[in-house]
Structures are given as structure tokens and as C-alpha cells.
Structure 1
Amino acid sequence: MDGLWDINLPLTEVMQSLGWLELPMRVITWLGSELFFLLFVALVYWCVNSRLGIQIALILLLSTSLNSVLKLTFASPRPIWFMTPVEGSVAAASFGLPSAHAQNAVAVWGLIAQRQRYLWIKILALLLMVLIGLSRLYLNVHFFIDILTGWMVGGVVLLLFDRYSQPVAQWFQRYSFKQQTAIAFLVSLLLLLPSLLVVQIRAIWQVPLPWMETLQQASPAASPPPFSLEVPVSVAGTWFGFVTGIQWLSNRQPLELKGKRQPRLRYLIGISVTVVIWAGLAALFPDGQTPIAYGLRYLRYALVGGWIAVGTPGRP
């Protein structure tokens, strides 16, 4: 496998030789970050189109869950574990293959391109899919094989979501709210289960010594990430909170906004509360890989997902 990653290094070095691209690439890569999607999903759901916002949230959570399983399964290195980081490199706290930024860009922006009839939106979505992936290569976070695989997996997620989301939604609507809540909780556990199994299977795996040596030369305090469940636990909690919140709200009132000034005001208020829950509880709750820490992380993200769902509903 080392030979496969070695082949990717020259392309990484060529991309990084374009030093003037650092600032725009950092901005572009932020468009694939957790914070951006938190702000973006809330904006679309509350202020633009609630149905599209729900679809974006669900496909993003499904894509992220699958990406976490694949990362833990392959336990693939980052470029920084093979080469000394250059100026402009950014830190990453997970394994490399496939790139979550590239995968989620195809899933989310591909969905938006499918749902919108305007040509300029489709072109913008395509550009973002490509540029977000390339930004990860430029910033020395991924090999090109990571990005290419991310694009491919994102495309598969998009195709499956487009094919099965509507039938599954119709099946889900047949149940009572209590039953829907139970189903949402079970699905959240199912999203977590594959990653948990991989971590258990990989328990005896050791980080290769050459990776450790290269990384510690670049940053003595750094070390490759353990087999953490933080991302799948976050996804599971968000899924439960968001889906339950959507169903609770739909049983009480139509998803709509009235007036032209309400969306802007509601967004500012709503996103402020979202950030307080997301960042505030992160500061209060313990971090780590203990059952208590994971349980509180699940609760934290369930509250975030639930608030986005019911705090400031968007229009259909």
C-alpha cells in the first residue's frame, strides 16, 4: 500500500507549489466543514426551502456515517504521515481514505443540483464539488486517491438517496409519532453500529512505525488518531434529534414562514441558539473515548439536531 500513496505525493507537491492559492483554498475547504454545514443546513431549512433543507440534512448525515465507517476500515494515512508538512498545511484528526469533504460535497451539492432548475446553480454546485476536493489536496490533508474515492462514494450515496428516500419516507409516515421516535432512535444506533464493530475488530491494530516517525518529526506532540467513535456518535445523535424534531413539528403545524423579514431575523436568533448548544455543551461536557463522554456527545448533537428541526421552521 505504501507504493500507492507514494505515487500520489508528486501531485500533492505540485499543487502545494502554487503558494498564492493558500487563502482561497482555505476558504473553499471551509465550505466542507462541520460548522459550515451547520450554518448552511439551518439557512436552507429555515429560510429557503424546508423540504430541500431536510433532504440536505439527511443525505449529509448518511454520507458522513458511511465515510466514518470507511475511514475506520481502511485506516489510511494522511500525507503528513509521509512527508514533512509545507506552509499552508492544515491539521486533520482522522484517517484519510476516503475524503469526507470530497464525498459530502458530491452528495450535498449533487442533491442541490438535482433539485434546482437554474443552470447557474448546477454549474456552481459542480464547481464546488471539484474545488472542495482539490482544496484538500492543496492543503496537504489528503492524497488524490482519497479525494477520487470520496467523489465516487459520494456519487453512490447520491444515487441511492435519490432512488430510495421517497419510498422510505412514505413507509415512515405510516407510523404514529411514538413509533417514529422509536424508529429514529433505532436507525441512529444502526448508523453507529458499523463503526463500533470496526473499532472492536481493529482493536489490536498498531500504527506503523514509519508513520509515527515522520509525523513526530513534523510535530513532536502530534500522533495519528486513535479509532475514535466521535464522528459516528455525533451523526447518530444528530439523526435522532433532527428526525424526531421534524416529525413532532409536522404533527403540530405546517412548515412555513410568513412575511419577508421574518426569515432573516429568525435565522439570526435560531443560529445563535444553535451555536450556543453546539459550542457551549462542547465546553461543558467531558471529551474522550469513555462511554460517558460518548453518551453526552450523543445528547449534545441530538439537542443540536432537535433545535434545528423545531426551533425556527422553514417554509415548504
Structure 2
Amino acid sequence: MDAILNWGMELIQSFQRLSSPLLDGVFTVITVLGNEEFYLLLAPLLFWCYDRRRGIRLTMVLLGSNFANQGLKEFFALPRPFEVNPQVEIGHATGYSLPSGHAQGSLTFWGVLAPWIRRGWPLALVVSGLIGISRVYLGVHYPSDVLVGWAVAAVILGVYYAWGDTVEVWILELSWMAQLALAGAVSAIMVLVNPADTATPGVLLGASIGLILPWGDFDASGKLGTKLLRYLLGIAGAGVFYVGLSLVFPGKDEAGYHVLRFLRYGLVGIWITLGAPWVFRRLGLAQGSADSPENPESGDSPESADSPETGTQTAQGQGDTARQEDGE
């Protein structure tokens, strides 16, 4: 391991011999494309304005990737390069080094999107490649961290493409109460496995609640201007929870930090999947889909989603749609 890290440090120093204010700025901008805030801005755009189901898929796979990354960081507990040699610190980051969350998250994110956009796979490889290089250049990751991050992302994408449809159909066929219990259990297990990361299980539980309860159901189609208004309103609301609550909740070393961090991220998740869509519909910025609770034919409560005429057929229909669209 020492030999790999020594080689990595030498490579970082070799990259940084090319350092200039311009190059520093370029790689600093590139690395932002792998920040948590970038995904918070882009994933809801897909969910609110283009395809609700695909937005759900992207978010859940990304959350799974982030959970795996945080767990592996805690397991390996490897210091970052600039903590070993402060001279290589151009950028700054917190937490452990192995594997690179930016490298892993970017390949996961763009790898899920790839089949849905033109030249998706070249874009995924280029963006994740540039982000990985930026992490090495800035001195916040060893090259081995980036390579392991990409490898973990490849495994996650392989699992997603192999079994994603099957898991989705299985979940949709459960009753709404069973879905809520499953979301709560998965979130609790995440906290027990890695108590240092309460953000990921918080978002997962909050987003799942919004997806399971029917009042957040909506149709993501519409005119460009309507979609723009929808997105701006939705992201402003998310910012209230994400940024606003961070200003009033305890800091990292204060009592109650992890519990309230779970709550803050949970509120972000439930706003994205339930709060914002509900507001969109009230303001006339979105319509309910065919199985909306406001549709007279679909019932008024979660229990109606469990009837043979609604819940099961909807689950099967969405599963069929998933398989058809991913086969395009």
C-alpha cells in the first residue's frame, strides 16, 4: 500500500509542476461538477421537468453510491494527500480519501443518465474522467482513490442495469405501508452501519415518503416556460431546507448535529418528491397523472393505491414501461 501511495504522491507532484492560476481555476471549476450541490441542482431538474420515473431511479442509485462511498471511506480511513504533504494542497476537502466520492459519484450519475441522452456514454466517461483528474491535480486524492472510485461505480452500475427493473417492479407491487416500512428499515440500517453519515439515509427516507404517498404525484410534462418556473420554485424551496436549516442547526462538533442533519436532509428529500410537486399542482404549474389522488377515479387516500384495480396494475404498468424505455 505504501508503494501505491508513494507513486500516487509523485504523480500528484508531477501534475502540479504544470500548475498556474489559470489551470488551478479550470480544475477547481471542473471539480465542482462532482460536488453534492451540483447533484442537488440537476437531479430535481430531471424529476420535476422531464421524467419523474427516471428522476426517481437516478436519485436512488446515486444515494446508494454515496452510502457505499461513505462506508468505504470510514473502513479504510486513509488520510488525504495534502494531510500527508501540505505542499500539494491546491484544493481542500474534508473526510477520508479512499475511494474518491467525486470520481465514484460522477461516473454513477452520468452512467445512469447515459442511455437517456445523445452520446451519453462518451459524455459520462469524459466528465467523470476530468473530475477524477481534477481531484488528483488539486491534491485532495491519490490516483488510486480515483481508480477505486471508478471501480466501485462500475460495480454499482452493473448491479443497476442487471437488476434495477426487477427491484423496481418488486417494490411497486408492495402495499404502500410495506413500502414505507421498507424505506424506514433501509434508512435505519444505513444509520446503524455508518452512524457518521446521517445525510444519505435522511434523504432516502424523506424522498421515499414523498414517492410512496400519492399526494406528490404529478405529470412532469409541460411547456418550457412552465418547466422553468416549476424548477425555479422547486429549487428555491429546496434551498430553504438545505441552506437555511444549515445556518440554524448545530455545527459538526455540537450536540444533536447528526440527528438534525438527518432531519434536514430528510426535509430536502420530502420537499423534492412531495412538497414541491404538491405546490406545482396547486399553482397550475403541473397536472396530476392518471393515478393521482385528485383524480376522482383513483381514490383519496393511500389505501386506494393498494386495490387490485390501482396499485398492482400501476406497478406492473410502470415496470413494463421501465423495461421498454431502457431497451430503446
Superposition deviation, residue 29 in structure 1: 0.5
Matching residue of 2:258: 294
Matching residue of 2:12: 12
- Give the counterpart of 2:199 among 234, 255, 260: 234
Matching residue of 2:281: none
Matching residue of 2:109: 108
Counterpart Cα distance in 1 of 2:205 and 2:275? 15
**Counterpart residue identity of residue 269, structure 1:** L
Matching residue of 2:211: 246
In structure 2, relative to structure 1, the CA distance for the partners of 1:252 and 1:77 (3 Å cut) is closer
In structure 1, the gaps of 5 or more residues are 197-228
Counterpart Cα distance in 2 of 1:173 and 1:269? 29
Matching residue of 1:255: 219
Q: Is 2:114–2:121's contact at 8 Å kept on the other side of the alignment?
A: yes
Matching residue of 1:218: none
**Counterpart residue identity of residue 115, structure 1:** W
Q: What secondary structure is seen at the aligned counterpart in 2 of 1:311?
A: helix
The range that moved more, 177-186 or 54-63, is: 177-186
The range that moved more, 94-103 or 9-18, is: 9-18
Q: Is 1:278–1:304's contact at 8 Å kept on the other side of the alignment?
A: yes
Matching residue of 2:301: none
- Give the counterpart of 1:268 among 232, 245, 255: 232
Counterpart Cα distance in 2 of 1:256 and 1:267? 11
Superposition deviation, residue 108 in structure 1: 0.9
Matching residue of 1:35: 37
1:71 aligns with 2:79: no
The range that moved more, 76-85 or 269-278, is: 76-85
Superposition deviation, residue 254 in structure 1: 4.2
Runs of 4+, deviation exceeding 6 Å: none
Q: Is 2:216–2:273's contact at 8 Å kept on the other side of the alignment?
A: no
Q: What secondary structure is seen at the aligned counterpart in 2 of 1:76?
A: coil
Deviations 1:210-235 (A, max 9, x none): xxxxxxxxxxxxxxxxxxx1xx2100
Superposition deviation, residue 99 in structure 1: 0.2
Counterpart Cα distance in 1 of 2:181 and 2:3? 47
Q: Is 1:233–1:298's contact at 8 Å kept on the other side of the alignment?
A: yes
**Counterpart residue identity of residue 257, structure 1:** S
TM-score by length of 2: 0.79
Q: What secondary structure is seen at the aligned counterpart in 2 of 1:90?
A: coil
The range that moved more, 22-31 or 306-315, is: 306-315
Superposition deviation, residue 311 in structure 1: 3.5
Q: Is 1:107–1:157's contact at 8 Å kept on the other side of the alignment?
A: yes
Equivalent positions of 1:73-112 (< 5 A) are 73-86=75-88, 89-112=90-113
In structure 2, relative to structure 1, the CA distance for the partners of 1:186 and 1:255 (3 Å cut) is farther
Counterpart Cα distance in 2 of 1:246 and 1:293? 27
Q: Is 2:216–2:274's contact at 8 Å kept on the other side of the alignment?
A: no
Q: Is 1:277–1:303's contact at 8 Å kept on the other side of the alignment?
A: yes
**How many residues were matched structurally?**
278
Q: What secondary structure is seen at the aligned counterpart in 2 of 1:256?
A: coil
Q: Which has the larger radius of gyration?
A: 2
Once the two structures are aligned, what percentage of the paired residues are identical? 35
In structure 2, relative to structure 1, the CA distance for the partners of 1:311 and 1:17 (3 Å cut) is farther
Superposition deviation, residue 149 in structure 1: 0.4
Counterpart Cα distance in 2 of 1:10 and 1:192? 37
Matching residue of 1:158: 157
TM-score by length of 1: 0.82
Q: Is 2:49–2:220's contact at 8 Å kept on the other side of the alignment?
A: no
